[in-house]
Chain A
Amino acid sequence: MPIQYYIYLALALFSIGVIGVLVRKNAIIVFMCIELMLNAVNLLLVAFSKMHHGVAFAIDKASTVGIDGQLFVFFIMVVAAAEVSVGLAIIVMMYRNTHSVDVNFLNRLKN
């Protein structure tokens, strides 16, 4: 599959995530759009790793060129899991204080 199809798909998913972060006010949906952007980047990393692997695969079937991209995806997933746990704790604390998850209530740090 030509690589530009994967680039366009990842760009579209990433842009949907950006629009969601800018448009929606519910903090949980903003957070989910961040996850969407991370997944678009993951998909693009895997596609690029397979693109580099395809060049080496034609010469040597046993080569491991391009494996770094897939390991980066693995570490991105690790960081995303840690980020979600802390972020959801922050959202729960915010709901406990303001009884709302609207991000417009957080326009000042005081109180």
Chain B
Amino acid sequence: MNTTQILFWFLSGLALVSALMVLLSKNPIHSILWLILVFFSISGHYILLNAQFLAIVNLIVYAGAIMVLFLFVVMLMNLSKEKEDQKNVWMKLSGIIAGGCFLVSTCNVIFNAQVVSKELAGKTALLKEGSIGLIGPLGKALFNDYVVPFEISSVLFLSAMVGAVVIGKKD
């Protein structure tokens, strides 16, 4: 087992454990901190896949901007003391069963493709090599082939900004 595989398993385990802790934490601030850890481990996966631009953007946009926004909202509302009622056990159980059924059925599809029909044999993700994740090729593709979606996304941001101000305005 070389260093890349050790890093892959470590980052996968970290992502799964902290994703579970997002659900299990009672305090919303702890959930947010665990979610930041999930984003860091996913950024580590991106670096492992040599998608360096996306790793940095993931850290800046998600862990830096979106999570700080969540943290501000939770701290402004002072929610940390609030308790959820534990009465509705059946709703929780049915939610876990539904999600578990989704996980089992989709994993079964992948397991069939891997073991029974052998469609995934030899399909590997290229690690540590390849230049498509660097800023140069991504920028060339973004401003040659994807100019129109890029410009439309600026309109989307403008409308989201106006919408957030209009909704959040005290009246």
Contact = CB atoms under 8 A, between A and B. Distances in A.
Interface of A: 1-9, 11-13, 15-20, 22-26, 28-29, 31-33, 35-36, 39, 42-43, 46-51, 53-54, 57, 62, 64-68, 70-71, 73-75, 77-86, 88-93, 95-96, 100-102
A64 B66 CA distance: 31
Nearest to B72: A88
Contact of B79 (A26, A35, A42, A73): A26
Nearest to B121: A2
Nearest to B79: A101
Q: DSSP majority for the B interface? A: helix
A5 B157 CA distance: 35
Nearest first, the 4 closest Cβ-Cβ pairs linking A and B are A22-B95, A54-B126, A19-B99, A82-B160
A6 B126 CA distance: 12
B4 A1 contact: yes
Interface residues of B, number: 83
B116 interface: no
Contacts of B65: 81
B98 A28 contact: no
Nearest to A39: B42
Interface string B122-154: 011111011111000110011000100100010
Interface of B: 4-5, 8, 12, 15-16, 19-20, 22-23, 28, 31-32, 35, 38-39, 42, 45-46, 49-51, 53-54, 57-58, 61-62, 65-66, 69-70, 73-74, 76-77, 79, 82, 84, 91-92, 94-96, 98-100, 102-103, 106-107, 110, 113-114, 120, 123-127, 129-133, 137-138, 141-142, 146, 149, 153, 156-157, 159-161, 163-165, 167-168, 170
Given A64-B132, A86-B167, A71 B142 contact: yes
12 contacts: A12-B103, A13-B15, A16-B99, A19-B98, A22-B95, A24-B23, A24-B84, A64-B141, A70-B132, A80-B61, A88-B69, A101-B77
B19 A70 contact: no
B16 A15 contact: no
Contacts of A47: 49, 125
